[in-house]
Amino acid sequence: MLSTQEYRQRCQIRQIPLISPQTESVLRFILQEKKPRYCLEIGSAVWYSGSMIADTIQSRWGKVYSFEIAYNVYTQALYHTKKVPNLTLYPWNFANTHAQIIPWLYDFVFIDGQKAQYDQYLMKVQPLLWKESVIVCDDVIKFQNKLTPLYGYLDKKQIFYHILPIEQDDGIMLIGDPSVIKPLIDKRESSNKQ
């Protein structure tokens, strides 16, 4: 099986879009700080990010459940991830998935699917979270024009979020209880200054 770094290099050679190294760094930071056991990924493409999350939490017997709507990339991902014991892949749109398929309450959620559906993903995932859960949405600056329904939902439900610029033209959104998100942001900023 390829290491995460080898898989990134292979995808870059084939010009397959992946999460940025900056996003990967922030995800690893959050995973190491929060130490989740059950993770959910929505919109995983070739499962680079899913395999990275699975690798990061494997020592804690953590599990990742990952959804991708595009069947062609799902089949590509199966080859790479077939030896990742703590990663389960689903070739479906999470927004249309029946609750019986989703086996846990999740500590960590990474959303990088169809941007116009971010609000639907969030609505669907809300009942599957703990108070301490962290949700990360990717590409929220670059594709801000497609996220109007998400912002409407967050405002209507008064859900706390913080946008973290991590690249020149893009960033991520952290969603969760302020008592969980604010310390994460403070700790990351403090570690970046050192």
Q: What is the pLDDT of residues 106-151, one digit of tens each?
A: 999 999 999 999 999 999 999 999 999 999 999 999 999 999 999 9
CA distance 187 to 103: 31
The gap from C-alpha 32 to its chain's centroid, in whole angstroms, comes to: 14
Q: Domain limits of the chain? A: 4-193
- Of the chain, the percentage scoring pLDDT greater than 70 comes to 90
Confidence class for position 1, pLDDT limits 50, 70, 90: low
Q: Which amino acid is at 75?
A: T
For residue 99, is pLDDT > 60?
A: no
Mean pLDDT of 25-35: 96
Per DSSP, 124 falls in state H
Task: Specify the pLDDT at position 136.
Answer: 98
Task: Specify the pLDDT at position 192.
Answer: 80
CA distance 49 to 56: 10
For residue 96, is pLDDT > 70?
A: yes
For the entire predicted model, the pTM comes to: 0.91
| Lowest mean pLDDT segment, chosen from 70-74, 87-91, 171-175, 184-188 | 70-74
What is the DSSP annotation of 76-143?
HHHHHHTT-TTEEEE-S-GGG--GGG--S-EEEEEE-S-GGGHHHHHHHHGGGEEEEEEEEES-TTTT
CATH topology (fold) of 4-193: Rossmann fold (3.40.50)
